[in-house]
Structure 1
């Protein structure tokens, strides 16, 4: 009898360890890019204006509000620097400074191979950070305005886009969560689904979880009895994205 009990305990331990290993691997796949607040003065930036014009030049200055970019000063072809408002820009690829990139490069897992031969893949594979124009109410309080916001889930942003909150506070723990930044886990992000973008925080996560994720039948089935955790936000976004894309593919057949 004792042998059977011991065998059962060993089996349960093995299953638990396997599940934890699976979750850790999933967290790596769903890891968000670090939030960068600096920019390289040695690498050119790539700007696409809303009218389709593409610019390549050196960033001279970046003006921010609550950490979000509302104006660039850029020198193109060595000419005098010009100011461009975020409201005139569709997207921006900008390299972080060498020191900041070195400090954070080991804290996330990034695989841009799924991008294919696009501008995004070309720039991201070279260590550039992706910013897109968004109309947003900062911290859900300010009058909505246009900013260039860093996309931190570029490789799985087809359905839900997650943008950095450069001034986000961090938890004191240093786990292996998918939201890990240097020193802890970010407590807030801006999250966009459809046309709605919200400042999502650890404290208001419960309020928005159902709207963000529970309208998908496959996701709902997987997490029906799950007590969701803030540290798994990246995993939820990745799962929801894959379920949504698989569902759309089935409907198109």
Structure 2
């Protein structure tokens, strides 16, 4: 009797394992495929809107079909020379599987000092322009009485940790030794010496280290506050956080 009970329990266990395996295999764990039309304009200007950047880009999922409505522009990174940008596109399916791809565009103008905020088409209306001008005048008046909060090493650290916490699981994590440093005028800097670690779910740190991109410039002979942005894109097209190093030249 006990022998048959053992056999029955073993059969139930095997059956349950098979069912769980079947359910696991049926789960949707793959994100949509993002494609970029060959005819897409590959030259970038600083006045391009999000709609302009998304033109010619499509996202299709094997199960959910066309999910292009989920497409967003996560970021736009200029290269060190300012003559090329990397656009990071993101899309997700109905199971919240996320896919990222990067697209390189040449710049029609030098983008040194460029910020990665993109505009929507509504930003170009006359009404918004008048409103922005009024707000700018008001902000200029207020700025005379208010000073921006001073950046400190602690605040810079908190800012970067928050950015890393918001990454998707498949995105690389970029860490610096410090995110705020003060140097004396004329002091030369080794930009790669500030890199602490790069972590990824697939690529090794050594592979990612060779893919490091750094944007921004520092004039060590002119006192002021400068920012360098470090990032990598892994072999799957996933972009890391943009780790910002604030350098104050005194």
TM over 0.5: no
TM-score (norm 2): 0.32
Pair member with larger Rg: 2
Between Structure 1 and Structure 2, the one with more helix by share is 1
TM-score (norm 1): 0.32
